[in-house]
Each structure stands twice: as structure tokens, then as C-alpha cells.
Amino acid sequence: MRIVFLCKRRYMGKDVIDDRYARLYEIPFQLANFGHDVLGLCLSYYRDAEGEWQHPTQAGTLRWVSRSLGKTVLPDLLAYPQRALAIAREYAPDLVIGASDIPHVVLGEWIARRLDRPFVAELYDNFESFGLSRIPGSVTAFRRAVRNAAVVSCTSEALAGHVRDAYRARGHVLALPSTVDLTLFRPRDRAACRRSLGLPERAKLVGTAGGLHADKGIGTLYQAYERLTTENPDVHLVLAGPADRRIALPTGPRVHYLGELPHALVAELFGALDVGVIYLRDTPFGRFCFPQKAYEMAACGIPFVAADIGAMPALLADAPECLYRADDADSLADALRGQLRTPRLTGVVPEDWRQLVARLNEALMRLESSATVAA
């Protein structure tokens, strides 16, 4: 099968093509490994190098074509749909996948209609919670595109249910949570990780890595840490990631802010912790996302606690003591106390990317079979 995969180039602070990072890379890469010929069309909202790249695969082919918005942003943006359509028409795909944000899902559905090919919407998050949803008419166009998709893959069961109910999706909707590189995120020697990162070897370390944003719930962790420090001088807080200017980082000799770490060092940070924290708030983002950190921490074999929002209660159904009430610093402090006193692994076992994308591949193969029978 020939597949066009449309997405933005920068994703969670990483370059999809150069860093070969996470979901937006793994889905087309694994589909190629299942024997498909995949053309990735990337649009950079920054000034990344344009060009074409061929990435080696086990079976099919994976080729990337990237274009960037230059100094004349609006003319470039308005011209891109026709440029992408021309590339897709020459490639002659069997289906089109739109991913990464509202513009690329809408563009993918538009191209699929122009080429009379099935369309697949790939939702790694609740895109309506992104800033681009404020563009007039974008949400209406997005919902129409998702509703018309033959297949919709969603990052969580909660988002899949929302797509079925609120969007009235006509096609097959499946939950496809993001997973992690299990060769990178794995159990490690705690003392060695602490030495590598310059962290105290004898302290009790709690912490996290990711966007330290107020609207995601990091403030609850800061407040819970303050409660713990008054009763346990051995507890230290470890943080990594972009800091939110709207909320001050905690300070003091027991706070260790490591800045923005390369992905490989995030795995070391988790390996250094006694307890990890997955913070979420009861917002549209929190209710429909699947925090990748949950799989990262589980793969590293560390105890962690998580807000009882979205996918987390189901994921931690066998370890309810590892949940805390969202936006409740006392509840988070209690959960941390319990994990520090009697560490409990959650029992979560992440799938690898090939296993996950196999489910999407099965849906696409059924789609192709249906199209063949109809023809």
C-alpha cells in the first residue's frame, strides 16, 4: 500500500525527521516496516532545512519531504496545500493520513477528497486544546474532517470515546496510546544515574520531566513538595524541562532543576528517582491525553504517582494508591508519602511501537480490502 502521511516537523520540542522521535515518526516508520511505501510530508513552522530524506526500513520504504515557512509566512502557508496536493498526486497514494494538529488533519482530508482516496485521522492529543484551535473556523473544519475519516486513531480510550460521541465519527475509531523506546527507557542502576546527573546519592528523590507548565498542573507538585519538606529533610525535588514563567520554580538546596535534557538523559533522570510524578489537571487536555511519562516511568521500573484524570485511573486500576486527586496538593503529598514509605510498582507493561502500530496496520488493511471489494 502507498501511504501519504502529513504532519508538522516539530513535535514536543523534537525534530520528527532528524530526531526520529516518538509517535509522529514511529507510526510511518512502523507502517513501512510492515511492507508499505510511505511518503511523509512535513511542514516546519520554523525555518528548518528543506529537502528529502530516505530512511532505511526492514521491508517497505520511508521517504520524507519537508518544506518550511520562510520570512513570508502567510504566502508560504497559503501556497502549501497546493504544493502538498501536487506532491501527493504525483505519488498516487492508496490512502492519506493527516496527523499532528488541526491544520494537518484538515489538509489531509482535503487532499484525500481531491484524490478520491480514503482518509485516516491520527490524533495524538485533543487538538482542540491547542492554540491553533483559535483560528476562526478551524474547529468546525477539523471536526468535519475527523467525522469523514475512514479510520481515526486516538491516543487514549477517553479521546476515542469523545471522537465517537462529540464528533459523530463515521469510520472505525481505535485507541492507540503512545509508547516509548524500550531500549532507552529500561531499569537502570539508581546510584549510577544519580552520579551521572550530579544528584545526591543518599537523598529521597521525587520528581518529573516535561513541560513544567501551570496549566498542566505542575503547581500542585510544587505545593505538595513544600508539605513534604516540613516533615522529611531527606526529600529532594528533581525537575527537568521548559519552565513556565507564570509560576516560579521552587528554590533551595534540596531542589535540583536540570534544565531541558536530551531524551536519553530523561531516562537517566527517571532511573535516579525514588518516586516519579505525572501531573495533570481536570481540563480538556488532561481528560483526553495519554501521558507518555507513565510508560516511560513504568519501563524504567520506578514507582510513580499520577493524577486521577483521563487515562490514568484505568491504567492504574490495580494500583489505586498510586493516584492522587487532581489539583489537590494534600492528596499528592499523601500519595508521595505512601510511595516513599512502601514503594509500589504499578504493574504497567508498555507495548513496543511495532505491537501498537500493528493495530493501526490491521485497520488499514481492512480498509484496503473493503476498497478492493467495492471496486
- pLDDT at residue 369, as a whole number: 74
Distance CA 243, CA 17 (A): 26
| Extended strands (E) in 142-213 | 151-154, 172-175, 204-209
Q: What is the total residue count of the chain? A: 375
Domain boundaries, the chain: 2-179+352-374, 190-341
Q: Is residue 373 scored above 50 in pLDDT?
A: no
For the entire predicted model, the pTM comes to: 0.86
Say how many C-beta atoms besides its own lie within 10 A of residue 297's C-beta: 31
Rg, the chain, Cα only: 22
Please, which residues have CB within 8 angstroms of residue 196's CB and are 6 or more apart in sequence? Answer: 268, 272
Select from 233, 344, 240 the least CA-distant residue to 225. Answer: 233
Please report where in the chains the cell 487532499 appears, as a residue.
111
pLDDT digits (tens, 9 = 90+) for 152-198: 999 989 899 999 999 999 999 999 988 888 899 999 999 999 999 99
Q: Compute φ and ψ for 180, nearest 5 degrees.
A: -135, 165
CATH of domain 190-341: 3.40.50.2000
Separation in Å, CA 359 to CA 30, 59, 347, 370: 11, 18, 22, 17
* pLDDT at res. 290: 85
pLDDT tens by residue, 262-315: 888 999 999 999 999 999 999 988 888 888 899 999 999 999 999 999 889 999
Average pLDDT, the chain: 93
Nearest CA among 227, 238, 226 for reference residue 200: 238
Residue 113 exposure: Cα atoms within 13 Å on the Cβ side: 12
Helix (H), strand (E) at residue 286:
helix 284-288
98 band by pLDDT with thresholds 50, 70 and 90: very high
Tell me, what's the pLDDT at 289? 85
Give all strands of the β-sheet with 172-175 in edge-to-edge order. Answer: 51-55, 61-68, 37-44, 2-8, 95-99, 119-123, 151-154, 172-175
Give the pLDDT score at 367: 86
Quote the cell numbers at residue 260. Answer: 531541558
Residues 340-361: tens digit of each pLDDT: 999 999 888 888 899 999 999 9
Q: pLDDT tens-digit profile of 118-148?
A: 999 999 999 998 888 898 999 999 999 999 9
pLDDT tens for 241-272 read 999 889 999 999 999 999 999 888 999 999 99
Are 363 and 122 spatial neighbours (Cβ–Cβ below 8 Å)?
A: no
Grid coordinates representing 115? 484524490
| CA 302/CA 99 separation, integer angstroms | 32
Q: According to the model, what pLDDT value does residue 372 have?
A: 56
At the topology level of CATH, where does 2-179+352-374 sit? Rossmann fold (3.40.50)
Residues 4-20, mean pLDDT to the nearest whole number? 91
CB 272 within 8 A of CB 199: yes
Same fold, 2-179+352-374 and 190-341: yes
* Residue 50 and residue 67 in contact, taking contact as beta carbons nearer than 8 Å: yes
**pLDDT over 90, % of the chain:** 78
